[in-house]
Structure 1
Amino acid sequence: MGEKVNQFDDIYLGLAPELGLLRLAQSGLGWKARKGEGIFTVRDADLKKTYWIRAARNFQLRLHLRDGKIVKFDGFQRDDYEKLKDIIKTNYGLQLETKELSVKGWNWGKTEFQSSNLLFNVSNKEMFEIPLNEVTNTSLTAKHEVMIELSGPDGEGANKDKNRKGDQLVEMRFYIPGTVPKDPDADDDEGEEENAANVFYEEIKAKADIGEAAPGDGIVLFSETLCLTPRGRYDIDMFPSFLRLRGKTTDYKIAYTSIIKLFLLPKPDDVHVLFVIGLDPPLRQGQTRYPFLVFQFVREEETDVTLNLDEETIASKYEGKLERKYETRTYEVVSTLFKALTSRRVTIPSEFFKSYHNQSAIKCSMKANEGVLYPLDKSFLFIPKPPTFIPHSEIGSVTFSRVGGTASSASRTFDLKFNMKSGVDYSFSSINREEYTNLNEFLQTKKIKTKSMEDESTGRYDIADESDSEEDTGKRKRKPAIQDFGGDDDDGDSSPDEDFVAESESDVAEEFDEDAGDSGASGSDSDSGDDGDRAAKKLKK
């Protein structure tokens, strides 16, 4: 229609890694990625203010919109200022204001919430800003310290975080001393004050989309669920595409796409059931990473819940894998929901192993941490601290220590070491001597090479007999390790991350307590494939 259009090349939209073309016309402006189909537009009527700012990628045009949103375009050259100023004045009747940034390098200043951004100001000048839509988690790590966890952008025209290269800021901590007056709108609180860090923490949660979700969106809430790793009680609030894990000082948002493994395992005390969730990327608490969450449920505890889903949604979206109402054991409900919402299979104990005491796991220690080791069909899993996942395919050999000879004949326990193909070793000690035969037979059944150290003093090794034929191993095929728990063991879940291994040990103060869950925490059943219902029925017998 004869409308004049001005164009700037090699411009970035927000934190997007790809270049694009920015075009400004009287009716508005638009950005288009050079490669791909990324397009972003702004109408002239939506513009409120414009700013020119020195940025990491040369100079930035920042637009403040009338709905409170902020849009940024990086990559302008210094010489573009005068031209851009005239275009904005002519087309939109706005001034292109120059905004100076603080370059003092101080790490103390004042925070300010502006629209969807958190600003950090030094001497009344902006030093840096944090887009709140990139904040994924926040927690009070100390009385006056607030941690915020960041992820990559996923806004208009931006690639997902996995496409970004180089170093990236993933966490910041703010020390906020002192107190502030309480909300003046609150009654009976005149003159009272509250912790400034707590106020900042609550405001981050409210503005960064990690607080309460929209009313009515949640599917179900499981309150005060006992978690052994990381230790504490958490509310599990499940939504269609993610869950929130809320503790006293933590609030985590976990996307179902980051859940790569699920395990439902009976604890060898005949009282509790453990539900283990494998995460990638791991959950983070400060410097500690948690690749596995270990929840504990009382086996006989039941729950009565109604899902916030209509029958049509259950039939169409979840293909009938869920029921609208449950009146059964809590661990059955929890694992059934996780299986349906994450589309991951749930691994249950192996039918090829049972301990001397007819359990599906053996008690042992990993360094100074007591726990239980589960021999599963395609892996070993040690829980609760540190949760350690050992795939069969990554094991080079297994070494038994103190299982024979005069030097160890009086010992009631033996040690076990997994020699991984990667060169990493996992050692477990204080295993009851009675477990040796069953454990060794299981390893032979799975065709894992074993060694036994006959005498620690000489360091001499003997290769265990591995000549068993398939017919022999077939004869040793056992009934399910815990018959009333039931179902086929299936560490063969469809997850492609079969080699996922815990990388770090939790350093959060916590102790393994055999009776930790007697007071509460419910559980969930999950079937592994089509045998889940059968497993649940066997468990109820």
Structure 2
Amino acid sequence: MTDGQLYPNILLGGRGGTNPGQLKVHPGGIAWRKQGGGKIIEIEKADIARVTWMKVPRAYQLGVRLKDGLFYKFIGFREQDVSNLTNYIQKNIGVAAEEKQLSTSGHNWGEIDINGNMLTFLVGSKQAFEVSLADVAQTQLQGKTDVYMEFHVDDTTGATEKDSLMDISFHIPTSNTQFSGDENRPPAQVFLDKIVSLTDVGSSEEAVVTFEGIAILTPRGRYSVELHFSFLRLQGLANDFKIQYSSVVRLFLLPKSNQHTFVIITLDPPIRKGQTLYPHIVIQFEADNVVDRDLALSEELLTTRYKDKLESSYKGLIHEVFTKVLRGLSGAKVTRPGSFRSCQDGYAVKSSLKAEDGLLYPLEKGFFFLPKPPTLILHDEIDFVEFERHGTGGSSVASHYFDLLVKLKNDQEHLFRNIQRNEYNHLIEFIKAKGMKILNLTDAQTTNGVATALQDDDDAVDPHLERIKNAAGDESDEEDEDFVAEKDDSGSPTDDSGNEESDASESGGEKKSSTKESKKEAAGVKVPSAKGKTRDADEESSKKRKPKKKKDPNAPKRAMSGFMFFSNAERDNLKKGNPGMSFTDVGRALGERWKKMIAEEKEPYESMAKADTKRYREAMADYKSSAPMDVDPGDDSD
């Protein structure tokens, strides 16, 4: 909507403190969006029952009460905003805003007003404080005149809030006329029964349903997941999290593979573990696991409060059962894969974010990268996207991959790397269909664009590879197809230079040895051999290695292995994600990745290795046939 009034820097008040955001009042209702993305509150015009203004410290507060009892507090308006917004709301929404006053007397006696799910304590018709009954964990009668209320304390308290309301007691004397009773049922008992009828009191002890041994990727561990009436609990060996359903923004059900399915619980505010915040709980279920669960719900609750939301029992795939029950209890919406399909008819494309490999899910309203770090990007938050060639070195393997840069309106950037070339058309068509701005769309559609570069750059030279070869000294023209990690190399090939380095050190040892022998022979000293057979074997080995000492500079470059193509493609990415990584550690990490790759993932690199081997053999045959004379590579004499 283009028409309406927009107010930046408006705080949403709640149990976990205040959250900054942007409020828009338009003819269709009221909308508030959290700053930086996350929680969105949309209030339809027809759902608004009452609007109030209140002067609070340093600002004005707009209160919006809905017909179903919910109440929202928006804080941060200026004095001049009050009259303008009051007139606009009355004209376009049809509700007259009322003025409420805040009690500052400090008196702790007054009256209680219960409206919907809000309890307001009034002192002389002025509001002293108010609490949400949805936050009440339990309540009990103390004596005959006191009612004790305890509030939920979970792990999603706002990051900037150090204090939280734990409990409160109300003293209701027998002479109270607001909650009139009798000798057997005093006013305090009447008040208690009223609170119990409006809250989930008593639901904190018994779970509606429990799922044991669930694998959660963030925060990592195996947990027992308990779903209660108003909250869920994650109980692990080392951690225990309690999360109010009011903090659950959305649920995502995304197939990972034939074996597993992701269920993501998006929170606002997030849970905290030490100094780490977790806005997304990423759960991984086995895709073929069938369960049968009975819910601990009375028939009365099923037919009243949870009518058309929950059933008495469920049987089916565990991720479907879990999602249906959690949706019914929390009221959160569920997002599933949309229209996007990858080249293999999947719902996501393989990519990497920072130093982590994962899956990028293009959804109808956003992108979601999983599993680590779980990153949700809404389409509305995107300024533009840009397709980039993988790397800048010109390696032939670079043409098999590309990068996707997503620039947000708040200037934040996300770079998704190592996306396979055959996913390019699927992604660009999806992004164009969603109306997102593609920065280099014109270039991508020309002959010099990204698509052409991805297809026709197989003959480019990798200067990084040439630098490694020159530094190491290419000692051999033999093929290196079997270059894999040996046991003494900790299972990780470090680099092509490591292999060459060993050859160079052996040659250096021979030169030093022959120099010493020459000096001894020149001095008339005979060099004895400790073991005749060993000396003979060393001499034979020395003769075999002598041809490597002199290399024909005009000979074609030898063929590279599949692992070397993989190393050259991934080395720069690994260094960017880990700037302090040493050369040896980079090689070791690449070797570990190579060993974990399946045959299908290695196939592009092995194909390039075979093509390079064919190239080398043909080039070598042409070179030998055109050679004017035989060269003795083992002759070191002048």
- State which structure, 1 or 2, has the greater radius of gyration over its C-alpha atoms: 2
Higher relative contact order (CA 8 A, sep 6+): 1
Q: Which has the higher strand share?
A: 1
Q: Which has the higher helix share?
A: 2
